[in-house]
Amino acid sequence: MSRLLLPGLLVVSQLLAHPSSTTAQVVINEYSASNLNQFVDDHSDYEDWIELYNNDPSPFPIGGYHLSDDSLQPTKYMIPAGAIIPGNGFLRFFCSGRNLTNGSYYHTNFRLTQTKNNKEDIVFTDPSGVILDGLRLDVTQLGHSRGRKPDGATDWYVFTNPTPLTSNNSASAYLRYAEKPDFSRFPGFYTTPDSITIVTAEPNCVIHYTTNGNLPTASSTVYTGPIPFNATMVLKALVISGDPAILPSLIEFSTYFMNVSHTFPVISVSGSQLTSLANGNGSLEPKGSFEYFDLSGARAAKTYGEFNRHGQDSWVHSQRSLDFISRDEMGYNHSIEQRLFQYSLRRNFQRVILRAAGDDNFPADYNPDNAGSAHVRDAYVHMLAKKGGMDLDVRNAEKVIVYLNGQYWGVYDIRENPDEHDYTEFYYGQDKYHIQYILTWGATWAEYGGQQALDDWADLYSYIMTHDMSDPVHYDSVMAQLDGKSLVDYVLTNAISVCSDWLNYNTGWWRGLDTSGTHRKWGYILWDNDATFGHYINYTGIPDITAYAAPCDPESLNGPSDPEGHIQVLNRLRNNPVFEQFYIARMADLWNTVFSCGNMISQLDSITMMLTPEMPAHCNRWSGDIADWQTNIAALRSYIITRCNNMAGGIRDCYSLNGPYIITLDADPVGAGSVRLNSLVHTDLPWSGQYFGGMENILEASAISPYQFVNWTSPAQVFTPNDSAVLTSVNFTSSDSIVAHFSFATNAFELKGESLTGSVYPIPTHDRAILEFRLPQSGPVRVSIFNSQGALVASPGDAQQLAAGFHSVQLDLANASLANGLYFVVLDTPSGTGTYRLPVER
């Protein structure tokens, strides 16, 4: 049967219009997008592949021809010069995305994904881009391929034993897969018993099914009529055709919950041997299904893949963590297509962690080492850092309920994993071939980047250890390669949370090498912060695990506690006064915000409130006492309060400072600008915090158009003309109120790019006016109205994302209470800032 199914008539007409000998001589002969573990390439990876076949007995030089996965970009990959297909022979291309050649191993610059909603193509073109052969990528099941039989023939078949680089003539060939079954009931939550009918479009077939999560096979129960259900179950069904030339279908699966409700999203995972894995047989890697039900109870995502154990020490607990990997190679879905995390816009996840709170698991079988466990610590620390905008990659977390093979499995966190390439590619534009990623967990290895990553880091480390960091040239050289803020945030997060399981364990740092991406400096991640706030085993050997631990304690760690020398790097950099100021000031900034008592307790109380309705069932499932969990939460809360209340004295004593003093920042007039104090920019003014004397604190004012900065004033500081710059420094000696003063610039038509033109009418106006303008480039647009003294009097709307072109905006002034007089409409855009006169007469 023909598989020449490229979209539109253009491709077909090209093929018909060019019946050259090349068209007949070289064809796409076989391909596989299901090579999970069969055919290895020269990098020890298992990649999808395409095979070309030469119909002619003469060798054919194919250099300069092209392959692509997109018929609209048919010349995506150019076959290197010198490539030759032997007479009546084959040439294979691994679709790895590497875009390189190593001997007989050819790697394209694209990869195949067979389960996308918009189907991919495979096209073969001549040097000028004329398509010589092409097909639409059809789904294959794990380990299968599609190919022509005999070689170079018109008809395509499914091969259960792929034959790359060898003839298809003796391959086990099948016409197709049987049609999948369909269920008469939507998956989800039910309160009354019901029944499910299974149907299929496949003629002459038998449907087999299971209700316990296991994979259905030819020996599973035969469907003969509606299946009743009055308890939670996972229904899976398989269609087997009576025609031996048709392969069994893909599995259909759905979970039906009976008389249960939850306040978290629910994840149903199921598969043969999955229960054995979850019960401790960590050598298993079962294949199975994954379903995500959102807060409305609707199934928002489904996929199929494989599971494996997650965790080391925590694997001894009865409730264990699991990794899930969605496998495009299995033919169901390439990812979990759903936004899973509140603080991320990402919607595609190949890998996720279902984490049972690790070493903070409750009840953790009441293991003495886990005494005081609260089921919150790790995700709590990570989300403090995430919400606080810290310069760290974290495991985003959301609470979920997990059902395993239809059985309630308790409260988990679904987690995003920063040390995998889909993460780095989404957030930073750095794919797996352009990252250097180093991890330490007892030993140290390069997760990505190989020996070169380890060598490059070793070179930077050696440079820091052997050069004077007080020298600006040496310091700048290091800062061009190392994200100093990330290092500081990593150390301070672990110091303030009193982490006792880091540096020699649970440490990761990485950088990207693609110049078109970001994160091009070495930066740090958070990883398994269960051993925090006085909990669990002190693997790192920190000096003090109590709430009174000095915040500078980590600065003394070395040797076995810090085998890779991250603290040595920190201490060497502190010889530079710029870095030393930033390090101590950042500690004060975080103590005032992310790690303040108010913020930490508010976040903990919020998590506790969310967990409270779900923990009784969780405790019942895992033989815990809800009163013990409440006691442990209270103890954690008490520890945190003590910790943050003692931070001020700790910072003061560690660095021989004065204070802290209450410092208030403000802007005059209100809304005219923002103020940066050290590493924090404050836009919601006035703002107050506690800061230290005996050190420099950096102040910087930033005006909002149409304002301009004028000067600083303070009852406790004397700002000389030289100190009245936009950027200055202050050594506090008492509590203080510092005001950044701004003035209104009436000539505020300051172009940033192309000319920005516009007008306001009618003039004068009464209750409504029209602002018309032409926007040279798309971007956020904000409209504000100021009086003649420069005070903000109206902001008709938040910034809106507008496309380039002509726009007309209605200004509703009826509720602005504007007196008669002259006002200014200020239009702030990426292309420029326009100021327009607006006389008001009422």
User: 75 and 189 share a domain?
Assistant: no
**Which positions of the chain have pLDDT values less than 50?**
1-23, 747-755
Q: What is the DSSP letter of 212?
A: B
Amino acid residing at 712: W
**pLDDT value at position 707?**
84
Residues 198 and 227 reside in one and the same domain: yes
Decide: helix, strand or coil at residue 589. Answer: helix
- Say if residue 525 is in the same domain as residue 435: yes
Tokens of 774: 């032409």
Helices (DSSP H) in 774-825: which residue ranges?
Answer: none
pLDDT tens per residue across span 291-322? 999 999 999 999 999 999 999 999 999 999 99
Q: How far is CA 704 from the centre of its chain?
A: 32
Pick the last residue of a domain from 744, 760, 779: 744
Q: CA-CA distance, 438 to 458, in Å (whole number)?
A: 11
Count of CA atoms in the C-beta half-sphere (13 A) of 582:
17
* Domain final residue pick, 595, 619, 635: 595
Q: Are residues 202 and 117 in the same domain?
A: no
Cβ atoms of 599 and 593 within 8 Å: the answer is yes
Q: Which of 503, 520, 512 is nearest to 566 (CA)?
A: 503
Q: What is the mean pLDDT of the chain?
A: 93
- In this structure, the answer to whether residues 571 and 717 fall within a common structural domain is no
CA angle 181, 183, 186 (to 5 degrees): 140
CA–CA separation, 833 vs 687, rounded Å?
28
b/e sequence 35-65, b meaning 16+ C-beta within 10 Å: bbebbebebeebbbbbbbbbbbeeebebeeb
* pLDDT given at position 21: 33
What is residue 772's predicted lDDT score, i.e. its pLDDT?
85
Beta strands in 263-332 (DSSP E): 266-270, 287-293, 299-310, 321-326
The answer to whether residues 153 and 240 belong to one domain is: no
Query: Taking CA 747 as the corner, what is the angle to CA 745 and CA 751, rounded to the nearest 5 degrees?
Result: 110
757 in the same domain as 732: no
Q: Where are the alpha helices (DSSP H) in 198-280?
A: 274-278
22 and 107 both lie in a single domain: yes
Give the CATH number of the domain where residue 235 resides: 2.60.40.10
For residue 530, give every residue at least 6 positions away whose Cβ sits within 8 Å of its Cβ, in sequence order, or none. Answer: 314, 357, 358, 359, 360, 377, 378, 501, 536
Q: Which two tokens stand for residue 632?
A: 């442990």
| CA distances (Å), origin 49, targets 37, 68, 161 | 13, 12, 14
Distant-in-sequence contacts of 792-797, Cβ < 8 A, 24+ apart:
792/669, 792/670, 792/671, 792/672, 793/818, 793/823, 794/818
Q: Is residue 299 part of a domain?
A: no
Instruction: Centre a 10 Å sphere on the Cβ of residue 302 and count the other Cβ atoms it contains.
Output: 22
Are residues 109 and 191 located together in one domain of the fold?
A: no
Of 595, 582, 611, whose CA–CA distance to 547 is shortest? 595
801, part of any domain: yes
Examine residue 414 and state whether it is found in any structural domain, yes or no.
no
- Positive or negative torsion for Cα 566, 567, 571, 577: positive
CATH number of the domain encompassing residue 784? 2.60.40.1930
| pLDDT score for 778 | 86
The packing angle between helices 597-611 and 377-387, to 10°, is 130
Give the CATH number for residue 141. Answer: 2.60.40.1260
Give the integer Cα–Cα distance in Å for 450 and 467.
27
Q: Which of 289, 338, 421, 331 is nearest to 112 (CA)?
A: 331
Question: Is 587 a member of any domain?
Answer: yes
The total domain count for the chain is 5
C-beta of residue 589 within 8 angstroms of C-beta of residue 679? yes
Task: Give the burial string for 184-213 (b: 16+ CB within 10 Å, else e).
Answer: ebebbbbeeeeebebebebeebbbbbbbeb
d(C-alpha 601, C-alpha 716), whole Å: 33
How far is CA 291 from its chain centroid?
20
- Co-location of 453 and 532 in the same domain: yes
CA distance 758 to 755: 10
Which residues constitute the domain of residue 763?
750-840
d(CA 130, CA 133): 9
62 in Cβ contact with 36 (< 8 Å): no
Domain contains 123: yes
To 5 degrees, how large is the angle CA 478–CA 482–CA 485? 115
Three-class SS of residue 421? Answer: helix
Query: Taking the model in full, what pTM does it have?
Result: 0.87
Whether 699 maps to a domain, the answer reads: yes
Say yes or no: 773 and 733 in one domain. no
Residue by residue, DSSP assigns 371-382 as TT--S-HHHHHH
With beta carbons less than 8 A apart as the criterion, state whether 525 and 510 touch: yes
State the pLDDT at residue 788: 67
Alpha-carbon torsion, ordered 51, 56, 62, 66, to 10 deg:
-50
Q: Are 739 and 778 in contact (CB under 8 A)?
A: no
Q: How do strand 407-415 and strand 523-525 relate by DSSP bridges?
A: unpaired
Q: HSE on the CB side for 163, CA within 13 Å? A: 21
Residue with tokens 């096979």: 217
Non-local (6+) Cβ contacts of 229 within 8 A are: 190, 193, 194, 195, 196, 211, 235, 256, 258
- Residue where one domain finishes, among candidates 744, 777, 806: 744
Angle, helices 626-655 vs 597-611, to 10°: value is 170
Using an 8 Å Cβ cutoff, are 753 and 776 in contact?
yes
Q: Which helix or strand (DSSP H or E) is residue 652 part of?
A: helix 626-655
Residues in contact with 626: Cβ distance below 8 Å, sequence separation at least 6, in sequence order: 615, 616, 619
Residues in the chain: 842
DSSP, res 82: T
Measuring CA to CA, how many Å separate 559 from each of 438, 503, 563, 564? 19, 10, 6, 9
Q: Are strands 792-794 and 779-787 parallel, antiparallel or unpaired?
A: antiparallel
Tokens of 340: 């899973």
185 and 92 together in one domain: no
- Residue 10: phi, psi to the nearest 5? -60, -45
Q: Are 499 and 527 in contact (CB under 8 A)?
A: no
Examine residue 459 and state whether it is found in any structural domain, yes or no: yes
Residue at 449 is within a domain: yes
Contact predicate 319/350, CB 8 Å: no
Structure tokens at 46: 């298992």
Q: 764: Cβ–Cβ under 8 A, 6 or more apart, which residues?
A: 839, 840, 841
Is the distance from CB of 631 to CB of 619 less than 8 angstroms? no
